Amino acid sequence: MASISKDIQQLLLKEFTLEWRNRHSLNGLLLYVISTIFVCYLSFKNIIEPTAWNALFWIIILFASTQAAFRSFITESKGRLLYLYTLTSPQAVILSKMIYNMLLIAAISVISYLFYALVLGNVVENSSLFLIALLAGSMGLAAILTMMSAIASKAGNGSTLMVILSFPVVVPLLMTIIKLCDQAIKGFFLSETYQYVIALVALNLISITLSYLLFPYLWRE
């Protein structure tokens, strides 16, 4: 167990270094969200209706995080994966990729929330609950999408396959997040919406466990 956590640390370090050397890709991702939100702003001007506000926001996040997670296995060269294979366990690889994507997607969704609220108006009444939903939601999205990216990379059919594989699988998570955010927008407190929080945490745990158990089979080829 100790060696796994050490491996994960090293692999995470590798991810950060690679991302930093490849800044244009990260900047591209940020620009992707920002320009999407700006296009939405220009088409809607101002959204007062909370349901529409919430749904549009999460659709943007869903596409952005799919795009973010998509890069995690496709961009790895065959040689590098083979090299990792000789060095470490598959569990360490999937966990490190997942943690990295969680941080990335959480950062992207917070930035998009700020920008989205800036241009389209902020309708959220209980922002702390909304932030909890945002962070827990990005964790779950990262867990599922990282695994789907691993599957899609094996098929080599590009982003179309990634999208059709992930969207139906992501739906239970997305519906729970949207429900919880809806409550946050209406100003409910955490104590009043605990069942959605529990559902969200349970879904996160299920997806992390499934990925942890199933990834080794994808890894050995």
Partner 1 sequence: MRNMKKNWWKIVAVIFILYVIIAGFLMPVPTLPILHETIRNLYFHVTMWFGMIIILMVSLIYSIKYLSKQKNEYDIVASEAANVGLFFGVLGITTGMLWANFTWGSWWVNDPKLNGAAITLLIYLAYFVLRGSIDDEEKRAKVSAVYNIFAYVMLIVFVGILPRLTDSLHPGNGGNPGFGKYDLDNNMRLVFYPAIIGWTLLGVWIMSLRIRMKKLQIEKLEN
CA distance 221 to 155: 13
Specify the DSSP element, H or E, that contains 32: helix 23-44
Q: Report in angstroms how near the CB of residue 170 gets to partner 1 at its nearest.
A: 8
Among residue numbers 134 through 173, which ones bind partner 1 (CB under 8 A)? 144, 147, 151, 154-157, 161, 164-165, 167-169, 171-172
* Contact present, 180 and 193 (Cβ < 8 Å): yes
190 part of the interface to partner 1, by CB under 8 A:
no
Nearest distance from C-beta of residue 218 to partner 1, angstroms: 6
Q: Is 179 a residue that touches partner 1 (CB under 8 A)?
A: yes
Tell me the two tokens of residue 141.
Answer: 């999205």
> Would you count residue 100 as binding partner 1 (CB under 8 A)?
no
The amino acid at 64: A
**Binding of partner 1 at residue 51 (CB under 8 A)?**
no
Cα dihedral sign, 155-146-127-192: positive
For partner 1, give the closer residue by CB, 44 or 167: 167
Contact 15, 92 (CB under 8 A): no
DSSP 148-169: HHHHHHHHT-HHHHHHHHHHHH
For partner 1, the binding residues (CB under 8 A) are: 144, 147, 151, 154-157, 161, 164-165, 167-169, 171-172, 175-176, 179, 195-196, 199, 203, 206-207, 210-211, 214, 217-218, 221
